[in-house]
Amino acid sequence: MLWNRVFLSLKTKNQRSLKKIFQKTMIWISFSSNILIIITAYILLKLKRDQIEFSSFIFFIALTGLSSGVAAFGHLPILNESWTNSLIFISRILSLISIYFFTDGSLAFASFKTNKIIRITNLILLITMVVVLFWNNVFLPVMIYGIVGFMGISLSAYLSNLEEAKKGRYIVMRGIGMLSLSALVFALFKDSYHFLAINISHILVSYSLLLFSMGFVELNKYQ
């Protein structure tokens, strides 16, 4: 009986130790996959910046990478709560602004920028989401603006005239699809497979940036 108790005690301690090691490992893997996004953004801007016509698209790639870099440190448990909350807040603000620039660039390419109603609507959406984020630091405003900005305004702009710059439009729309898939993976599996969902989502975001940059370059050929 004594040996059984000792064995069970050691087994429980080992399980706890392994669990802590696993959790720490997953946190650093998630950190690395977040850093992957900012590295991808940096490389793409280094290689393709001069080939992209619209400055809004350049700002979108840069801010998406920067947002992920800030978020990577914001999720580290080694920092105190006030620091992590501040970093996560900054990363979400940067995400909102990056969505705005993507939408702005899409409208400019599709010649929708002359439509004051759409432009004002986009700006009002950004300001509204920023205000909501100041009120409550959660990811929901980013998700809402992302759906409206990417799937609503921008996708409509690219679908408006598919015969013009067809290849570029399709590549950018694939990027939108990949970004949407990353959000869907995270939303569906964040509770049951948290770390796996986060890392797959980050990898898909990196791939979407690659598609976006390729699409932006193709769009430039028709300007």
Res 178 pLDDT > 80: yes
Confidence (pLDDT) at 75: 78
Does 51 fall in a domain?
yes
3-state secondary structure of 112: coil
Give me Rg for the CA atoms of the chain. Answer: 21
Does 182 fall in a domain?
yes
Does 205 fall in a domain?
yes
Confidence (pLDDT) at 18: 60
Does 17 fall in a domain?
no
Global pTM? 0.86
Q: Which pairs with CB-CB distance under 8 Å and at least 24 residues apart come from 84-92?
A: 85/137, 88/137, 89/133, 89/137, 91/67, 92/67, 92/133, 92/137, 92/139, 92/141, 92/142
Does 143 fall in a domain?
yes
108: domain range?
A: 29-220
Confidence (pLDDT) at 223: 58
Does 46 fall in a domain?
yes
d(CA 116, CA 206): 33
Does 203 fall in a domain?
yes
Domain count, the chain: 1
Confidence (pLDDT) at 112: 59
Res 17 pLDDT > 80: no
Does 13 fall in a domain?
no
Per residue in 197-215, pLDDT (tens digit) is: 888 999 999 999 999 999 9
CA 46 vs. chain centroid, Å, equals 20
